[in-house]
Chains A and B, each alone.
Chain A
Amino acid sequence: MKRRALLGGLAGAAALAAAGCGSGKDSGSGGKTEVTIWQQKFTDQEDAWYKKAVAAYNAAQDKVKVVHQIVPADAWDQKMKAAQAAGKAPDVFTLNYNKVQGFARTSQIQALDGVIAADKWSGLQDSVVGSITYKGKKYGYPMLVEPSAVLYYRKDLFAKAGLDPEKPPASWAELIDYGKKLTTKQVSGFSTAGNQIDMGWSTWGLQWNAAGHLPISDDWSQPRATDPAYKQLLQAYQDLYKQGVMPKQPLAAYADATPFGQGKAAMMACGSWAASVLLSDFPKVVGNVAAAPMPSFDGDATKPTATLGGWTWVIDGKSTKAQAAADFIAYVLAGDPALLVDYFKTTKFSKYSPRTAVADTISSDPAAKENPWAQTIQDKVVKYAKPEPTYDWSISLAFGKAIEKALQGKDIDTALKEADAEIKDIIAKNNLAGQGTTS
């Protein structure tokens, strides 16, 4: 009897465990359809805006309840994979442009054409729409664009080193020369990406600049990393490291402008988002900071030095509430521009809207002057920037690895050849040939 009871208990426990593992999606709360949104952790100000946007939508209608969750960036991939494996991925989530096509190809996200009305798509920049389009269908609604590489420099330290604060380096030779003059025991002359992961994406614009293309053919059938034009890019990083202009160990991740704000570097390559961090967290240094485009390898300032990255909102491939999720996306991103303008104000105008209605409102807003570098970035960086590549991340990583090899003093030709071979291998193993439409 006791044994039977014990076995019964065990069977019950096993059943409960199994049920716990496979529980389905929520079915709503208080008669409302529940839609979940996961947002990657950004700055506190941005996170507050997301909360506000969700609250505004929940107050504006009574059929859908949106539940918002902030996920730390370094835990995002693990958490998302675990949720996908359990069939509990959020209905809506934020996604980089460069991942949209891969996610669409593997059905991780749904096409939005059928659930967001055609008129909501008008007034969006064509190049950005291209980034979220796969096989003729749109898979994400663009929220913002931000150039990946801008040169920020300290005018006061320039003057101290005998350099003209109004004359940023226009070539890589100048950048290295200035960097040497600015380097002291406590301050690095130039801070930039120092590992293959950060270099894999932060140099996309410079890859365009050096060779006029990315290290894979447009249709993704052939590697193009051995183009001799790439040598100058790898050489520049090798010189920066060898000559002690950039720190031997990265001061922080590429996207983090904190060390520059703290005065640990005299020049810094970072995205436009750095402006928001400097204005919010380091107001005392703002008056001494200037921004300029990254130098062009041949001195032609009209060539791209950055890519336009940024965030788009997508709907999970398995979401059964696609229409409710799409209505929420359309309300926030394609509705009243005032809600989004508030976001760009919150982020100190350090990001740019791909939607004409929003961009026009922002440019006429007197508060935009609060960001002293916005106009320079808009006119000299954004204007010539390219969209982010949409191929698999492993290809970017292979090229980032080549730059890191050069940085660590390895032979540049060999590094490029190895990157070429690795990209060729990735193309073959992932059957990528012919999948690319744009690069």
Chain B
Amino acid sequence: MTTTAGAATSVAAPGTREVSGARSRRRRHGDTKVAFVMLAPLVVLLAIFVIWPLLHAVYISFFTWSFYASSEFVGLDNYVNVLTDQAFLASVLRGLGFAAMVVPAQLVIAFAFANLVKSFSGRMAGLLKVTIYVPAVISEVIASIIFTIIYAYRGGILNWALSLVGRDDTAWLGETGTALPAIAVPAIWIGMGIASLIMLAGLLDIPEAYYEVASLDGAGWWAKMVHITLPLMKNIFLYLLVTGFAGSLQFLVVPLVMTNGGPLESTTLPNLFIFRHFTNDLYAGYPIAAALLLFLVLGSVSAVIFRLVRSEKAVDG
């Protein structure tokens, strides 16, 4: 489209070109105004619900602040308190460990599932898509309750199943070694639906012609996977990695309902740590400073992922 227009312009007379250029500039100018108007609702809402609260949060993080007593300026004290609090640093590291358990597992399973759905057609594919999407529409609270029942020490389904093969009861949520992996399972389950559908959309977006040509060249399943599917799914992986890491680091409801951060804080993820301080502390400066620092951590993690897995414009446009 652009090429055709360009060719038409190149054969026009010089005078016509100037008039046309001026018209084009005017149109561009007009387009910019329309674009601004169309963006305005979003910008206004963003300003009210994101930018202003963020700026306000930064401002009050420099105070001993409560909703009642008069605030006192304390400079960077809240930040120093958070950064010297081993419990906060431990919660962030724990969050990264949790994300490292959840995201790769989610990507692998979702990729395998998307390939499975792609290989089916019609009703079966539809049924599979609905099945995998169900966890995404179940609330995190319900999912947490379901898994708490599964993991129950006495009368839990998992211990019952393992007792059939002679294994003693395990306190899945009661021991520091098993609690975090135990809550990672529902986290993987909850995020699987959306990840699988995005993966499927990515797979379906790869032109079939590539695979046909590769087949003609004698490429097998593995060669097609390594040389066609995986490179063309790179941006999908990148998107799911960034959103998955950011989402996993921010899990709140699952640990809150299933373990309340225990045992021994082994499941206290960063947001639960901040949430507890926000609801228990008499002043809100500390949790606000902690939340802003977590915001920086999330930004840094996303930047690192972008750096490591450079995104590229899709080759096939």
Contact = CB atoms under 8 A, between A and B. Distances in A.
A105 B278 CA distance: 17
Given A14-B44, A394-B280, A408-B263, A3 B37 contact: yes
B154 interface: yes
Nearest to B70: A107
A238 to B, nearest CB: 13
A267 B262 CA distance: 24
A84 B67 contact: yes
A345 B152 CA distance: 36
A6 B48 contact: no
Interface string A299-331: 000000000000000000110000000000000
Nearest to A81: B279
B40 A429 contact: no
Contacts of B171: 247-249
Interface string A395-415: 001000100110110000000
B263 A404 contact: yes
Interface stretch (B96-104, B115-123, B172-180, B192-200): B172-180
A194 interface: yes
Contact of A264 (B81, B154, B281): B154
B264 interface: yes
B87 to A, nearest CB: 9
Given A7-B40, A401-B264, A408 B68 contact: no
A196 B66 contact: no
Nearest to A103: B282
A165 interface: no
B46 to A, nearest CB: 12
Nearest to A318: B68
Contacts, number: 89
A108 B41 contact: no
A429 B48 CA distance: 33
B174 A250 contact: yes
A19 to B, nearest CB: 12
A10 B44 contact: yes
A405 B265 CA distance: 10
A10 B174 contact: no
Contact of B279 (A18, A78, A248, A407): A78
A429 B152 contact: no
Contacts of B308: none
For the residues of A in contact with B, the DSSP-based class is helix
Q: Which of B69, B175, B280, B283 has the most chain A CB atoms inside 10 A of its CB?
A: B280
B154 A247 contact: yes
A85 interface: yes
Contacts of B280: 77, 393-394, 397
A106 interface: yes
B160 interface: no
Contact of A317 (B68, B264, B283): B68
Contacts of A10: 40-41, 44
A365 B119 CA distance: 77
B229 interface: no
Contacts of A404: 262-264
Nearest to B277: A394
Given A10-B41, A401-B264, A102 B153 contact: no
A23 to B, nearest CB: 16
B260 interface: yes
A196 to B, nearest CB: 6
A108 B68 CA distance: 6
Contacts of A408: 175-176, 263-264
A249 B152 contact: yes
B312 to A, nearest CB: 37
- Closest 7 interchain pairs by CB? A249-B174, A248-B171, A249-B153, A77-B279, A249-B171, A107-B68, A84-B67
Given A7-B40, A249-B174, 18 more contacts: A6-B37, A10-B41, A14-B48, A77-B279, A81-B278, A107-B66, A107-B68, A107-B69, A108-B68, A108-B282, A194-B174, A247-B153, A249-B152, A392-B282, A401-B264, A404-B264, A405-B264, A430-B282
22 contacts: A10-B41, A13-B44, A14-B44, A81-B279, A103-B282, A106-B66, A107-B68, A108-B67, A108-B282, A186-B154, A188-B154, A194-B263, A195-B260, A196-B264, A197-B262, A247-B171, A248-B153, A248-B174, A249-B153, A251-B153, A397-B280, A429-B81
